[in-house]
Amino acid sequence: MKTLIVVLLFLLFSVFTSQADWREKSEPSEQLANLVKLVPGTSHWMFEIGERYKNLYWAAKQGRWEFAQYQVEEIEKLIKVVQLARPKRAETAQEFIETGIPAISDGVASRNWKFFKPAFVKLNQACMTCHGKNDHAFISLPVEPASASSPVLNLSD
């Protein structure tokens, strides 16, 4: 009986360890197909964009314009990643870049809350338009985020 168990364990171990690593042993077409399957959806990028959206608002509200500009740049980079990773979203992502980014960039460049606030509203509208066109209208962002997530923004001051 012990011999049978050892033989079965050896066979199982052989089966699992003999499977080829598709990354090294597969044909390029299979490698590509597997890599495409591994590319995640947009939700984790959108989560980061949402955090940067909140930080952008609060950076501007606190007059931290360089940090606000950094948030705009990072949001745009992430949208471009979404375009690359999810070609079905590329067109609406481009619309967002063409409508939301110039408006908010101008608002940040003004270094004036009075001009920034309507630009932020336009950014919000661009976000909501994109969500709606991608069947995610149920995901809405506040025009006045309640808090920021960045430790750079000391919200207790």
Q: What is the pTM of this model?
A: 0.78
Contact 110, 60 (CB under 8 A): no
Q: What is the mean pLDDT of each run of 10 residues along the chain (157 residues)?
A: 66 61 80 75 89 97 97 97 91 96 98 98 97 94 92 75
Give the Å distances, CA to CA, from 114 to 70, 119, 121, 154. 20, 9, 12, 22
pLDDT of 14 reads 59
Distance of alpha carbon 69 from alpha carbon 16, whole angstroms: 51
Backbone angles phi, psi at 10, to 5 degrees: -65, -45
Contact 125, 95 (CB under 8 A): no
pLDDT of 23 reads 77
**CATH architecture observed for domain 43-133:** Up-down Bundle (1.20)
Residue 155, both tokens: 């919200």
Distance of alpha carbon 34 from alpha carbon 148, whole angstroms: 37
Residue of 144, 138, 147, 141 whose CA lies nearest to 126 = 141
- The residue extents of the domains of the chain are 2-38, 43-133
